[in-house]
Amino acid sequence: MYNFLLPKEFVTSVYEITAEKLKKLGIKGIITDLDNTLIEWDRHDATEEIAHWLKEMEDAGIKVIIASNNNEERVKRFAEPLGIPFIFKARKPLGAAYLAALKQIKLDRKEVVMVGDQLLTDIMGANRLKLYTILVRPVAESDGMVTKFNRFVERRVFNSLKRRGIKTWEEKE
- Its domain, for residue 46, covers 3-172
Any residues with CB less than 8 A from the CB of 30 and at least 6 apart, and which? 17, 22, 57, 62, 63, 64, 65, 112, 113, 114, 115
Among candidate residues 107, 168, 158, 156, the one with its CA nearest the CA of residue 132: 107
Q: What angle do CA 149, 11, 3 make, to 5 degrees?
A: 60
What is the pTM (predicted TM-score) of this model? 0.86
Among candidate residues 109, 91, 114, 94, the one with its CA nearest the CA of residue 6: 114
Which CATH number fits the domain that encloses residue 13? 3.40.50.1000
Mean pLDDT along residues 137-155? 71
Mean pLDDT along residues 81-105? 96
More confident site: 147 or 10: 10
Mean pLDDT along residues 5-30? 95
Among candidate residues 43, 34, 36, 44, the one with its CA nearest the CA of residue 67: 34
pLDDT at 19: 97
Q: Running DSSP on this structure, what letter comes out for residue 138?
A: P
* DSSP code string of 2-58: -GGG--SEEESSGGG--HHHHHHTT--EEEE--BTTTB-TT--S--HHHHHHHHHHH
pLDDT at 105: 97
Q: How far apart are CA 173 and CA 148, in angstroms?
A: 23
Are the CB atoms for 168 and 156 separated by under 8 Å?
Answer: no
User: Above 80 in pLDDT, residue 160?
Assistant: no
Count up the domains in the chain and report the number.
1
Using DSSP's 3-state secondary structure scheme, residue 92 falls into coil
Mean pLDDT along residues 58-65? 98
Mean pLDDT along residues 105-109? 97
More confident site: 117 or 150: 117
pLDDT at 165: 75
